Amino acid sequence: MKVFVMNKKRAVSYLALIFCAVCILTIGTLQSADVWNDGGDKLLPIYSVEKGNEKVCALTFDAAWDDADTDVLINILKKYNVPATFFMVGSWVEKYPESVKKFHDAGHEIMNHSDTHPHIDQLSDTKIKEEISKCNDKIENLTGTRPILFRGPYGEYNNAVIKEAQNQSMFVLQWDVDSLDWKNLSAADITARVTNRVKPGSIMLFHNGAKNTPEALPQVIEKLQADGFTFVKASDLIYKDNYTIDHSGKQILN
């Protein structure tokens, strides 16, 4: 029987190689999972979607204020043949059912922005479930379609929120381009801010009821369309399965 004697230096080298191999295998396993967990067990929502050179983007609105600009927004979107995604609060749906129907009948999708617009990351699991399910019920009762996308109020989320949305067969969606229209920026500033930041796979955030959004929106759409971008609904932008979410919240097809 042959006996191999290994000196200390060589033993350390072999151990280092083994350690590196284990690390590589571990990283590969993580990257092949459905969802990338940033910082250990922290779950991430979708902020944008990897689309390569395909110039597609999604226009989204949060609806939690009044409905005075409903017809204005619908007419602008119709003029440019742009579909949009409206995240609506359940209480807004109750208060303005006719506006909900108008957006839906105009071909836009209605998604979930919680039932009462709370700081949802501070709620118990039971309350989180209620906030999501009650809003889903209200939207489905009006439109006949149950939402598959959820966006937390104030953009807030935690693992419990994401897991509950997943339990209800939903995806949690954020944004990578914020118009800041709620700060009453001028139409020119909103336009420049948005069009300078949009990339293939971007998700834009606007609000209904924002003072200068109706003036800025046509400029934003015209500039992006001139640059070769196509607008799609958020539910059509994202991947439904076989994907990862990287540390920045970008959804990537495996």
Could you list the active site residues? 62, 207
Residue entry with tokens 């991430």? 44
- Measured at the alpha carbon of residue 165, what is the angle toward residues 162 and 166, in degrees to the nearest 5? 85
DSSP letters of the chain?
-------HHHHHHHHHHHHHHHHHHHHHHHHTSSS--BTTTB---B-EE--TT--EEEEEEEE-S--TTHHHHHHHHHHTT---EEEE-HHHHHH-HHHHHHHHHTT-EEEE--SS---GGGS-HHHHHHHHHHHHHHHHHHHS----EE--GGG---HHHHHHHHHTT-EEB--SEE--GGGT--HHHHHHHHHTT--TTEEEEEETT-TTHHHHHHHHHHHHHHTT-EEE-HHHHS--SSEEE-TTSEEEE-
Tokens at residue 188, please?
């020119």
Q: Are the C-beta atoms of residues 245 and 46 closer than 8 Å to each other?
A: yes
